[in-house]
Amino acid sequence: MMRGKAGCRSLLLALLLVSGGAAGQAYPGKAVRYIVPFPPGGGQDLVARAVAQRLTEFLGQQVLVDNRPGGGATLGAELAARAAPDGYTIFMGSNTTHAINPNLYRKLSYDPIKDFIAITQIASLPNILVVHPSLPVRSVKELAALARARPGELNFGSSGNGTPAQLSGVMFNQAARVNMVHVPYKGSGPALIALLSGETHLMFGSITSTLSYVKGGRLRALAVTSAKRSPAVAEMPTIAESGYPGFEAVTWYGLFVPAGTPSAVVAKLNAEMVRLLNVPEFKQWLMGQGAEPVGNTPQEFAAFVKAELEKYVGIVKASGLRPD
């Protein structure tokens, strides 16, 4: 009987947090911090800022993006995991923070399952293989041929060690049997700047951050890394159909909160995010960035994260990756 009363009290507290306490203040009653574990300018940051702008309207309180790059996204993830579980800190997680890093780092400062509650998957999107215009290649086959002719001379930039961008490059090295050198940067923004300046030869960047430069002629796109063509660049072939069957490397983004966040807050955030992902113009914007909107339940997203965590066990092990 005592256990039942305790459960009722916990549920009541959660409901009060969302619908209003004695003072009648509804959740959220103040600004919400949105931690993004990468620098400004990259694909994840662009999506996070678009989400923050619309969530601000839906929640009636400012949703403020807080970029916390470093440590291959581990610093931002740890900060979010250790934040107060009151609904006023949300986190932009991805396969980097919740599937790759747990398999990459022997000692990680957070647990991707135990330290977080999954709210919803926001979107999934392929990377796009882009090269500097000075590189004399116009197809994946031409790139592979050039890399074989110049072993160890071509390099590809990425947003850091162990990121989906690097793993895409490692997977391509393995599939094409070439030896392109990886150059890590502190985020996709700096990696993109390096490619635009000619400091690197190519990168497997997000469509979100690279597409405008492709359209402007400052980068040349060769293929997308998904199993199927992207609606954003329907004319662009996949790496799989360019001679490497089975090649697939995608990035996903999702919303998380610290473990212990009241269930009513979780439900509120999920409902508002799903509502946002069904707004026609927002869906169109995401698709224009090459992303496929998702918007699933917390239970569905949690199951997806666990499956991704298991999938990357073999990928990271085969790559031989080790953190700096």
Neighbours of 146 (CB within 10 A): 18
- pLDDT at 9 (0 to 100): 47
Is 81 inside any structural domain? yes
Is 220 inside any structural domain? yes
Domain end, chosen from 197, 212, 242, is at 242
Average pLDDT score, the chain? 89
For residue range 11-62, list pLDDT tens digits in order.
Answer: 444 444 554 443 446 899 999 999 999 889 877 898 999 999 999 999 999 9
For residue range 243-293, list pLDDT tens digits in order.
Answer: 999 898 888 999 999 999 999 999 999 999 999 999 999 999 998 877 889
8 Å CB contact between 38 and 71: no
Domain end, chosen from 189, 222, 242, is at 242
Neighbours of 106 (CB within 10 A): 6
Going by C-alpha positions, the residue among 29, 36, 68 that lies closest to residue 51 is: 36
Indicate whether 219 and 278 sit together in one domain: no
Is 308 inside any structural domain? yes
Q: Which residue range is the domain that position 198 belongs to?
A: 126-242
Q: Distance between the two ends of the chain, CA-based, in angstroms?
A: 54
Count CA atoms within 13 Å of residue 188 on its CB side: 29
Please give the DSSP secondary-structure letter assigned to residue 21.
-
pTM of the full predicted structure? 0.75
Is 174 inside any structural domain? yes
The one-letter code for the residue type at 319 is S
3-state class (DSSP) for residue 98: helix
What is the pLDDT averaged over residues 86-110?
Answer: 94
Indicate whether 178 and 192 sit together in one domain: yes
- 231, two tokens: 């609606």
Is 118 inside any structural domain? yes
Is 324 inside any structural domain? no
Indicate whether 6 and 89 sit together in one domain: yes
Angle ∠(318,322,324) on CA atoms, nearest 5: 160
Is 215 inside any structural domain? yes
For residue range 279-306, list pLDDT tens digits in order.
Answer: 999 999 998 877 889 999 999 999 999 9
For residue range 158-177, list pLDDT tens digits in order.
Answer: 987 777 888 899 889 989 99
Residues 6+ apart with CB under 8 A from 162: 72, 96, 100, 101, 104, 105, 316, 321, 323
Confidence of residue 111 (pLDDT cuts 50, 70, 90): very high
Confidence of residue 10 (pLDDT cuts 50, 70, 90): very low
d(CA 219, CA 129): 10
8 Å CB contact between 163 and 171: no
Indicate whether 153 and 230 sit together in one domain: yes
Indicate whether 48 and 61 sit together in one domain: yes
Here the CATH number for the domain that contains residue 98 is: 3.40.190.150
Q: Which residue has the higher pLDDT, 4 or 142?
A: 142
d(CA 222, CA 207): 12
Indicate whether 224 and 294 sit together in one domain: no
- 212, two tokens: 């405008």
Q: Give me the percent of the chain exceeding a pLDDT of 70.
A: 91
Indicate whether 307 and 267 sit together in one domain: yes
Indicate whether 95 and 49 sit together in one domain: yes
Indicate whether 121 and 17 sit together in one domain: yes
Angle between helices 43-59 and 280-288 (to 10 degrees): 170
Q: Is the pLDDT of residue 191 over 90?
A: yes
Neighbours of 164 (CB within 10 A): 26
d(CA 122, CA 139): 31
Indicate whether 121 and 255 sit together in one domain: yes
What is the pLDDT averaged over residues 212-222?
Answer: 96
For the ranges 23-27, 123-127, 199-203, 305-309, the one whose mean pLDDT is highest:
199-203
| Matching residue, tokens 């609904």 | 87
Indicate whether 136 and 230 sit together in one domain: yes
Domain end, chosen from 242, 274, 301, is at 242
Instruction: Characterize 69-88 residue by residue with b for buried, 16 or more Cβ atoms within 10 angstroms of its Cβ, and e for exposed.
Output: bbbbbbebbbbbbebebebb
d(CA 197, CA 213): 12
Indicate whether 140 and 27 sit together in one domain: no
